[in-house]
Structure 1
Amino acid sequence: MTEDDMPDQADIDDALTRLRAAGYTDAANDQQLYGELARAADCLEAAEGADSPMPRRWPFATDAWEPRDPSANAVTAAAFRQLEAERRARADL
């Protein structure tokens, strides 16, 4: 992914808001000790479109698998990566 392909921070912030509203709160994320948030990001980055099948590696409930177009998937993946970074930062406190 080149710098031009990187998701815009405003879009990532919107995705973070959506994810948090869907239950990916700090308290819930702090329970994800085995790379689930990063694995979710990997799965979304690999999804080719809205009809992409759910990968076996998808770490969350089946109904949480909601891929969209590749650009939107990249934004949501970046948001999952940010949630993982925040989780790790809290764990180091």
Structure 2
Amino acid sequence: MRKLVTTMTLLASALAFVLALAASPAAIAQTGNGPDTANPSSVRQGPLPAPVGHRQPRADQVPSEKNLSDPNSAANREDAALDRSIKSICRGC
């Protein structure tokens, strides 16, 4: 009987805690971290800045495509060998 009373008490207190968290206004309402719509000067205009570390490379920073079709390069020979070995695995796909 004592275990039953203890268990019921713990369940009731846990339920009251969950209901208190769910019913609190802070859990339902959003905080005022966004722009102030009453003050038009605080509303952001234009595109957002790019994240740090993400950039578009310039043309001189991109590797050339001249060596892609060279059959004598080591990378192309390895690719050809891999293609031959995969062909035996892949059945008509």
TM-score w.r.t. length of structure 1: 0.22
Greater C-alpha radius of gyration: 2
The structure with the greater share of residues assigned to helix is 1
